[in-house]
Structure 1
Amino acid sequence: MQTTRLSRLILAGITWLFGLVCFSSLAQLSPANEDCVSINQQAGLMVDYIEQAPYRQAIPSKLASFAYSNEQSYQDYLDYAQKLIAQRNPRAMMACPISTPSYQRLAQQQKWLGPVKVIQLLAPFELHHPNNDKAVLLIHGLTDSPFHFHDLAWFFYQQGYDVRTLLLPGHGTAPSDLVNTDYRQWQQAADYAISRSSEDYSELYLGGFSTGGALILRHLLKHPKNSEQVKGLLLWSPASKAASNWAWLAKPASWFRTWLSKDADIDFAKYESFATNAGAQVYSLMKLLGKELKQAEQLPAIPLLMVASQYDQTINTQASLAILQRWQQANPQLQHQLIYYGDQQSLPAGLSEQVQLNIPRCATASCEQIQQVAHTATINAPSNPYYGENGVYRNCSHYLKDIPSYLRCKQNNEVVKGETRKQNLQRYATFQRLTYNPYYQQMLQQINAFMQP
């Protein structure tokens, strides 16, 4: 007993010391007036951030985990998530002069005063109307945060829906929190959010991006009763199968390698450094979903709208389209829809006749310069002040092994945008992974039509 207590004291001391060292490093690296915008404009410091990792490690805390019980209200959950981010995110209180319509509405609801802070932008949130009985629940993807739904949340709110978002465990703090997270924790959180919202609203739409889409599908397969309130599914590039044939190696690699890649971690809303365990967990989730879909005797009778890009370099789009085709065949009486960024010839045989297909066409000069829609692009508007066409942030992680190219991608005025296919990287000297949807308005029109009674 004494030995165990001594071990705990030693571990606590080591944890405290580690946190102290991290804060000391952060204080030395970060200018006193640094904010989430200026940090993206200091290319000279980015290499230092990669090497010294001031934002890669979460702050040690003793906050108890959330029970994810339906007896706890969604406001209870939101309050918990705020405390979690405040305690574990090393830049939670950093100024972040990024304003979206969703933030402005939240600021009114919450009576926030003073400059915008990181925590106010990336925390899970709820936009609500008085005495409303219909809602949209949105679940983000791996390494992302609820900030990625600020644009879509505002659209749904304007259509008269309450909007809820969820923060998956291990997210919203620092990349190190995904080193030991398990996909079952993500599923538990998603199950709670869907079940709680199904009780709170008589009309519910479920929307998921990437990993969020996989979690929603698994929930509906396991809890068919909760589908009674669900009026429709909205899935953006759902996590069905990894695009890489080597994704299975993430599991054995996680036994002896902590990080698949180490980045500067200057993106306040998405982890840039990628924990090997994160890849292993999402691979396990997708593999299990595929097995459960094959074994399911029937699929929920819910209309499905899917948004997918033929050129997605993260998710195997053909596997996602196979899910849509299976969904259509199981419920042929319902009208399912596909918004597809690609060539119709690349679709599975018969799918274009089975579902309502929309392949947007480029209508602007800026759109014509884009080299395919990336996995990271589908849910953000071109007007997004952070990820949009003229946004602050640039996704250049594909150049981490070539720092001069990485810095050019971050700084140069002439940068081609699109999906990081091998052909594009070879063709263009400086290439940025696309972080907004050039067909966003057309997508909103389709979604609006899909949700009409």
Structure 2
Amino acid sequence: MKTGILLIHGFTGSPNSMAWLAEEFKRRGFTVAVPKLCGHGGQPDDLIGCTYKDWLADAEGALRQLQKTCDSIIIAGLSLGGAISIYLASKYRVNGIVTMAAPFCVSIWTRTFAWLFYPFVKYQYKDDGPDINDKSALKNMNSYNLYPTIVSHEVFKFLKIMRKVIHTINCPVLVLHGENDHVVDVENADKIMEALTTPVKMKKTFNKSYHILSLDFDKAEVRDSILNFITQNIEKVSAPTIQT
């Protein structure tokens, strides 16, 4: 049985953030796809005009390609990519999903600021750069240190949609989160677990990593957690087929 793994990067990130995991999985014989989401991997202004529908289309396109050659599929996403994984699992039959540092919701203050001040505050800045504890990993990243404020509305709209469908997922789910995540608080992992109704759901936290779990100090443990999840659950859902 051929197993495919779809890895989805986060908002303002790029496929580079998933490259280490991708190579680790490829070495073990998995077929891996790492799509680049609309507006990412270039310049921050490339995000202008991109919508959550574009990001979903990019992820779905990669999923459909995997479905052509793979009998089983696991989706693993970082941050926004984790939320996209949840959405895809509500629309397609997959064998399991893994969320890494995924948001369930954003604070009222964050949403209010974005809605009220985006005409006057064109960009949001990450003063300290990517939220990663292992600074040596920064050289392997290609992420934006700022982004157009208006694009954050697309994230908010998508998370609202994701929250409406999360209860429909019936495949196994592994929720991973850094205990010291400064971007998406670890309480989001608990909220995801509470919203899931699938009978097979697990949560694991890591105390040495911040937000970018796929490249931080715990990356090897993250990899092993995903591999164990695949081994334990790959047979629990029948081979994926596109739902129309």
Under TM normalisation by the shorter chain, which class is it? 0.7 to 0.9
Distance 2:62 2:123 in 1: 30
Q: Matched residue of 1:340: which SS? A: strand
Q: Give the distance between the partners of 2:82 and 2:31, measured in 1 at CA.
A: 20
1:164-313 to structure 2, matched below 5 A, reads: 164-221=33-90, 223=91, 226-227=92-93, 230-242=94-106, 244-248=107-111, 249-261=113-125, 269-293=142-166, 296=167, 299-313=168-182
Given that 2:177 and 2:204 are in contact with CA atoms closer than 8 Å, whether structure 1 keeps it comes out as: yes
Deviations 1:359-399 (A, max 9, x none): xxxxxxxxxxxxx53113x111xxxxxxxxxxxxxxxxxxx
Q: Which has the higher contact order (CA 8 A, sep 6+)?
A: 2
1:166 CA drift (Å): 0.6
Q: Any conservation in 2 of the 1:179–1:276 contact (CA below 8 Å)? A: no
Is 1:443 the counterpart of 2:222? The answer is yes
Two-structure CA RMSD over aligned residues (Å)? 2.5
Between structure 1 and structure 2, the one with the greater Rg is 1
Q: Counterparts of 2:175 and 2:165 in 1: how far apart (Å)?
A: 19
Number of equivalences: 222
TM-score, normalised by the number of residues in structure 2: 0.80
Distance across 1 between alignment mates of 2:67 and 2:198: 22
- Name the CA distance, whole Å, in 2 between partners of 1:326 and 1:153: 29
Q: Secondary structure at the match of 1:198?
A: helix
| Alignment of 1:374 onto 2:210 | yes
Q: Name the CA distance, whole Å, in 2 between partners of 1:214 and 1:146.
A: 16
1:276–1:373 distance in 2 versus 1, CA, 3 Å: same
Select the structure that is richer in strand: 2
Of the candidates 201, 205, 221, which is equivalent to residue 340 of structure 1?
205
Change (3 A) 1:180 1:253: farther
How far, CA to CA, are the matches of 1:159 and 1:325 in structure 2?
33
Deviation at 1:245, TM superposition (A): 4.0
Q: Take 2:126 and 2:185, find their aligned partners in 1: how far apart are those partners?
A: 24
SS in 1 for 2:223: helix
- 8 Å contact kept, 2:77–2:99: yes
For 2:203, the aligned partner's letter is: L
Q: 2:4 touches 2:30 (CA, 8 Å); kept in 1?
A: yes
Please give the alpha-carbon distance, in whole angstroms, between the structure 1 residues aligned to 2:81 and 2:146. 20
User: 1:247 touches 1:279 (CA, 8 Å); kept in 2?
Assistant: no
Please give the alpha-carbon distance, in whole angstroms, between the structure 1 residues aligned to 2:29 and 2:121.
47
Counterpart CA distance in 2 for 1:326 and 1:275 is: 30
Instruction: Call closer, same or farther: CA 1:158–1:313 in 2, change over 3 Å.
Output: same
Name the CA shift for 1:282/1:201 in 2 (closer, same or farther; >3 Å). same
Q: How far off its partner does 1:161 sit? A: 0.2
Distance 1:262 1:202, change over 3 A: closer
5+ residue gaps in structure 2?
Answer: 130-137, 235-244
Matched to 1:261, the amino acid is Y
Give SS of 2:180's match.
coil
| Letter of the 2:222 counterpart | M
For the 8 Å contact 1:181–1:277, the answer to whether it is kept is no
Matching residue's letter, 1:287: K
Does the 8 Å CA contact 2:14/2:41 hold for their aligned counterparts? yes
Give the aligned residue type for 2:227.
Answer: N
Distance (whole Å) between structure 1 residues aligned to residue 189 and residue 28 of structure 2: 28
2:83, 2:104 within 8 Å by CA — same for their partners in 1? yes
Query: Aligned to 2:34, what secondary structure does the other structure show?
Result: strand
What CA deviation, in whole Å up to 9, does each residue of 1:219-246 have, x standing for no partner? 222x2xx21xx2221110112123x442
Does the Cα contact within 8 Å between 1:144 and 1:171 map onto a contact in 2? yes
CA contact (8 A) 1:247 1:283 kept: no
**CA deviation string 1:305-335 (max 9, x = no partner):** 11112332212432332222332xx232x3x
- For residue 207 of structure 1, report the CA deviation from its aligned partner: 0.8
